[in-house]
Amino acid sequence: MRTRKIPSSGEELPVVGAGTSGAFEVGDSPEERAPIEEVVRTLAAGGGRVVDTSPMYGKAEGVVGDVAAKLALTDKLFLATKVWTTGRAEGIRQMEESFAKLRTKRIDLMQIHNLVDWRTQLTTLREWKAAGRIRYVGVTHYRVDAHDELEAVLKAEPFDFVQLNYSVATRDAEKRLLPLAIDRGVAVLVNRPFEDGELFSRVRGRALPSWASEIGCDSWAQLFLKYVLAHPAVTCAIPATAKPAHMRDDLGGGRGPLPDAAQRAKIVEALGTS
């Protein structure tokens, strides 16, 4: 698995991880948990580490914590979650809940979800980072119409990570946010690299271009991921899935050569975007 450095520390992270929105929002039965366990096992066995979750995602945090503990992976994964509320006291309460659900005494990355009350929460996050409870501090959003605010926040304050939406179909982050992340030394987690599956709808029934083999791709998922990962600002893409076969396929996007500028343009053309 290819790795990229976190600029603020130099720590290497595998470039493909796992998101949990929707995919990990399951019940407690063995039948519901089994596919999730296999997804996490597949991720770790394939060299991945990053698992990103949030209190916003229903039961996902607890599912991550339970599965990681069952598989003895809690200390091996890079656990990322978020604070998603207003007020200092409520933020502290929510984050303490996250620690309990994730079954850990230290969280690798705590992010301010969708910029909610970010100034208030950032104060607590910095205190907890200094105390060693969290290792990295970040801020997130998932919509293009929030990019202006994300840009302003990244210019105003130092962060270890930013999480944002970016795909071959939605390339707005290339204009300002990704260059800014490089300039500011901020690691980038990419959410929605498949546009919640919409990219696959656009290529359904179409054969993978023959030239995809030049960059080691044998699926559309790998092609879409390699477009994203080819940008030097991107640290890790976190597609969400509850299907082990899809996780295995996604991991292939983190191996082998990445497309150059001309090949990236061909991926855009193959999807039919401009």
Tell whether the model's pLDDT for residue 106 goes beyond 70: yes
8 A C-beta contact, residue 120 and residue 91: yes
**Token pair recorded at residue 52:** 């990103």
Q: Give the model's pLDDT for residue 274.
A: 53
The answer to whether residue 272 scores a pLDDT higher than 90 is no
3 inside domain: no
> If you search the block for the tokens 């987690």, which residue do you land on?
189
> What pTM was estimated for this model as a whole?
0.97
Whether residue 33 is contained in a domain is answered as yes
Q: Give a yes or no: residue 43 inside a domain.
A: yes
Q: Residue 26 is encoded by which pair of tokens?
A: 């399951």
Of 184, 270, 247, which is closest to residue 18 (Cα–Cα)?
A: 247
Rounded Cα gap, residues 183 and 254, in angstroms: 24
φ/ψ of residue 12, rounded to 5: -90, 135
d(CA 268, CA 143): 20
Q: In this structure, what CATH number is given to the domain that contains residue 66?
A: 3.20.20.100
Domain presence at residue 90: yes
* Residue 1 falls inside a structural domain: no
Whole-angstrom distance, CA of residue 32 vs CA of residue 2: 31
Please write the tens of the pLDDT for every residue from 19-72: 999 999 999 999 999 999 999 999 999 999 999 999 999 999 999 999 999 999
Tokens describing residue 157? 């304050």
What pLDDT does residue 112 have?
98
Tell me the C-alpha distance between 81 and 197, whole Å: 22
- Residue 226 in contact with residue 219, Cβ under 8 Å? no
Distance CA 152, CA 78 (A): 27
Is residue 147 situated within a structural domain? Answer: yes
Expressed as residue numbers, the domain containing 70 is 8-271
Query: Is 73 among the domain residues?
Result: yes
Q: What pLDDT, in 10s, does the model give residues 239-256? A: 999 999 999 999 999 999
Residue 2 domain flag: no
Domain count, the chain: 1
